[in-house]
Amino acid sequence: MEVLGWDGALSSRDFYVAARAFADNWKEFNSPFPPWNWVPSPHLSQLQQQRGYLSLERICLLGSSKEDVNEENHTEEEEGSEPVDNATLVETSSPQVYYHDFHIVYSDSYRVPVLYFRSYYIDGQPLALEEIEKDLPACSSKVLLESKWTFITQEEHPYLKRPWYKLHPCGTNGWMKLLFLGDNSLPKNGVAAEQYLVSWLSVVGQVVGIRIPFEMLNNHKSCN
């Protein structure tokens, strides 16, 4: 895909390639933490397994201060506690334990990835959006307030057929093209599908507190 003539969107085939590469790289550069897994659509045959989504589930986040945690400052896991993903930052004002599920799903209509998410208590009771917003990183409210490219909405998950929250993909292709055009470390004569999700989540993840490991970002650029 040539950047200058590219509209910033992604084909479903390229999304599959990007998703599998992203999951492999995440395991390589963020191995101590929960993996992103490719979940094939249960409604398709073995020959159609390119349809599906990336899943990062049951991320257990306990109460912490509403300050960014540097990736170099990895919090040691307490004995008997759930693994805490340093790539995700959510502040809680109580000792209540929350779980968070994140899915990256391809949108056929927008031709871009979309981040779906849900949050729930340990007993499975879902958190309302107002509760989720209280536990987002401090920068999230600012991003949502100032951004013209996304907002949180609730819609039926395209594969699970249940209500999930999502970051609306309007404008994604436009800012993705600008992102690649403005990054001098990326070649302007082509965009590899594998680069797409790393760059996309490095921006979208800010809203919900998901961070891309520095090593993964550096590797993504050094491969160009």
Q: How far is CA 124 from the centre of its chain?
A: 22
Take residue 56 and report the two structure tokens written for it: 């990062």
178 exposure class (CB count in 10 Å sphere: 0-12, 13-18, 19+): exposed
Alpha carbons within 13 A on the beta-carbon side of 183? 23
Catalytic residues: 170
Angstrom distance (rounded) from CA 118 to CA 101: 5
The CA-CA-CA angle for residues 176, 181, 186, to 5°, reads 100
Angstrom distance (rounded) from CA 166 to CA 1: 27
Distances (CA, A) of 186 to 90, 141, 168, 182, 220: 31, 30, 26, 9, 9
Angstrom distance (rounded) from CA 28 to CA 126: 32
